[in-house]
Amino acid sequence: MFRKLLIANRGEIAVRIARACREMGISPVAVYSDADRASLHVRAADQAAYIGPSPSNESYLVIEKIIGAARSLDAEAIHPGYGFLSENANFADAVEDAGLVLIGPPPSAMRLMGSKTSARTAAQASGVPVVPGTTTPLTSIEEAESVAEDVGYPIMLKAASGGGGKGLRLVRSRRELASAYPLAQSEAAASFTDASVYIEKYIERPRHIEIQLIGDRHGNMVYLGERECSLQRRHQKVVEECPSPVVDEDLRRRMGEAAVKVARAAGYVNAGTIEFLVDEQRNFYFLEMNTRLQVEHPVTELVTGRDLVHEQIKVAAGEKLSFSQEDIVMRGAAIECRIYAEDPDNGFLPSPGRITKLVEPAGPGVRYDSGSYQGWEVPIFYDPLLAKLCVWAETREAAVNRLARVLDEYSIEGISTTVPFFRAIAQDADFKRGEFDTGFIDRFLSVDSQAQRSNDDVEVKLRDLAAIAAVVHAKSSSVEPDSAPARSSESRWKLEARIAQRR
Amino acid sequence: MRYEADIDGHQINLELERRNGRIVAVIGQRSYDLEVSTPQPGVYLMFQGDEVHEAHVWSADANSLRVTLRGRLFTASIIDRKQRRTSEHRPEGQQQLTAPMPGKVVRILLKPGDEVAAGQGIIVVEAMKMQNEIKSPKAGRILEVRVAEGETVNNNQVLAVVE
């Protein structure tokens, strides 16, 4: 086993990996930029190397600096976490060339699965379904009609050079196609100066469900159930859970086996995730593979009782997986909320700054993975993920109730966070029933549904009480400003006396 | 005392009276009789009968407060009548463009003297890998740009002036 491991990341994931290292008797070493000198991931390490200015393209993304830090601190292995260099095959090459071990897949598998088109081809070759359609431009309306018949309506006409939702057209029948095809072509030509369009089957109200897997260098590969990741905002996951409310034993086995087949075909080793789209009839389609540890891995750990980071480090050191497929038992339900430094009342605008007060969630069934602490200044340079709040309970219903309880106790001051947004989601009837798809958050944030929520009797009362507290606070702090020495153990009689003075 | 407040976009009139260490508040048709204590600075423990409500209050910026209560976050500003009268008299001509968050100026789209339409982007500020276009509050002309590309700015810092 390794003696010393360098963590090429920051924030909550670097802290999480450092914890795994300590549990395994490995010395964790950190890297840090100017902005992160006093960050939690540095405090969690035995040694730390300075790697440059705050912008990540001058520090965390510079391959030579990471390799140099590992060399100078005499680390034997590097864990890249997620983001930054974690899916960079050139980095994986550089780690190998330096005689170090990367906690991740071989560069060849990273390259093959990293490109969407080659990954799609690899999935098809292993007999795993992909979203049906063409990937080459259509040449005529006749061809369009015949492809549409093959994949079945409804279909999407997509501009080959398109992006950002432009050049997309939903077509529900052959009759619509006759008029939509030339329109889509001229739209594509106008927006992208390229008139070519292709067809993809339209998946209505899809769910985004992914399979966690891990393999060793001895040919063993195991899937650890699924994660439901349909709750997304601007294609960014916000809430994940395990298991998915719509996946049963049979579907789990079929998706799991399909995922293992694709990963084996790619020569995959270590932890990885295969993402699928699942339609309303519960057909699943390969989307892409993530060749790294995922942000949302804790929900899988809570339900399967397996530590993925421990296992990643063990298989990277050449050990066999410590469990087989038959050993994987799913128990209970886990939900994760990504706590972002964003202002949900202000279009989710970033909200960096000092955390003046932090009451961390606690109590039964709570797992809190954080990279922040009270008094810390959240830097402007990086991803806004502050922490991941996970709950576990025997059933999904109990987990949702637990989540609501924990969010009530959790408090972050000084900056805005997505905590209140999750509190509202935990109260939502459709969420409670597990009935949602990838469009849920957009509908949830629509003006109508927000107005409906804010006129609820309970909400009106809480708003009133908040207004009262604000007025009381404004009145007392105008006499004694916030910069006055902390009155931490202020007793009621003192307050009463102050009030009396002012009367 | 009477107060006008804006809480999450709802304008309310609040009448607040302190009686024997209790706070009696009337908001529209609703009234609250509360016993309020401060176990920690910025924390307000409110008893309404046997109901317990704990509010945490802090200043978000010079004009607004943030309140958390049962996991919900509220933004409140208390409107001072005197201040409002003076602000009503402030000339509408010049408007300052302020940073809605701390960040780095990545692009300046218009320069002093340029014509600007209402809602047109003037400056792009980046924070946490997200770029935000700071838009003009009105149609007019750029009078001043007070920041340079690459500069780090604080929350509410004046970036430009439009007239």
Q: In whole angstroms, how far apart are CA A20 and each of A200, A251, B132?
A: 43, 32, 37
Identical fold, A141-201 and A335-455: no
Q: What are the residue boundaries of the structural domains of chain A, listed by start?
A: 4-103, 141-201, 205-331, 335-455, 458-502
Kindly determine whether residue A468 and residue B23, on different chains, have CB atoms separated by under 8 Å. yes
CATH number of A4-103: 3.40.50.20
Distance between CA atoms of A8 and B159, rounded to whole angstroms? 36
Task: Note which residues in 65-124 of chain B have CB less than 8 A from chain A.
Answer: 65-76, 78, 100-104
**What residues of A are annotated to the active site?**
292
Last residue of a domain, one of B59, B83, B107: B83
Considering the domain architecture, whether residues B8 and B70 belong to the same structural domain is answered as yes
Predicted complex ipTM exceeds 0.85: no
Kindly determine whether residue A413 and residue B23, on different chains, have CB atoms separated by under 8 Å. no
Q: Looking at CA atoms only, how far is residue B141 from chain A in angstroms?
A: 27
> How many Cβ atoms from other residues are within 10 Å of residue A479's Cβ?
10
Q: Looking at CA atoms only, how far is residue A422 from chain B in angstroms?
A: 9
Query: 3-state DSSP call for residue A1?
Result: coil
CATH number of A141-201: 3.30.1490.20
- The continuous run of DSSP H or E covering A435 comes out as none
Nearest residue, CB atoms, B46 vs list A350, A465, A495: A465
The residue range of the domain holding B11 is 2-83
DSSP string, B12-80: EEEEEEEETTEEEEEETTEEEEEEEE-SSTTEEEEEETTEEEEEEEEESSSS-EEEEETTEEEEEEEEP
Q: Which amino acid is at A224?
A: L
Distance between CA atoms of B132 and B123, rounded to whole angstroms? 8
How many separate helices (H) and strands (E) can be counted in chain B? 1, 16
Cα B119 from chain centroid? 20
- What is the CATH number for B100? 2.40.50.100
Distance between CA atoms of B133 and B124, rounded to whole angstroms? 4
Distance between CA atoms of A34 and A59, rounded to whole angstroms? 9
- What phi and psi, each to the nearest 5 degrees, are found at residue A275? -95, 135
- Residue A171: the pLDDT is 92
Tokens of A384: 């806004």
Residues B102-129: what's their mean pLDDT?
Answer: 91
B90 pLDDT exceeds 90? no
- Collect all residues with Cβ–Cβ distance below 8 Å to A72 and sequence separation of at least 6: A49
- Collect all residues with Cβ–Cβ distance below 8 Å to B106 and sequence separation of at least 6: B124, B125, B126, B131, B149, B150
Name the region of B21 (left: φ>0; alpha: ψ -120 to 50; beta: rest): left
Contact between residue A41 and residue A21 where contact means Cβ atoms under 8 Å apart: no
Considering the domain architecture, whether residues B65 and B123 belong to the same structural domain is answered as no
- Residue B81: the pLDDT is 62
In sequence order, the β-bridge partners of residue B145 are: B160
Nearest residue, CB atoms, A470 vs list B41, B57, B102: B57
Question: B28: buried, middle or exposed (CB in 10 Å: 19+, 13-18, 0-12)?
Answer: exposed
Nearest residue, CB atoms, A468 vs list B34, B60, B126: B34
| Bond before A154 cis per omega within 30 degrees | yes
Q: How many CA atoms lie within 13 Å of B17's alpha carbon, on the beta-carbon side?
A: 9
Q: Please give the mean pLDDT across all residues of chain B.
A: 86
B101 pLDDT exceeds 90? no
| Bond before A243 cis per omega within 30 degrees | yes
- Residue B89: the pLDDT is 44
The pairing of strands A236-242 and A221-233 is: antiparallel
Cα A202 from chain centroid? 25
CATH top-level class of A205-331: alpha beta
Q: Tell me: the pLDDT tens digits for A205-246?
A: 899 999 999 999 999 999 999 999 999 988 889 999 999 999
- Residue A453: the pLDDT is 75
* CATH number of this structure's domain A335-455, picked from the four choices 3.40.50.300, 3.40.50.620, 3.40.640.10, 3.30.470.20: 3.30.470.20
The ranges of chain A with pLDDT < 50 are 479-503
Last residue of a domain, one of B52, B83, B114: B83
**Which residues of chain A are within 8 Å of residue B53 when distances are taken between CB atoms?**
462, 465
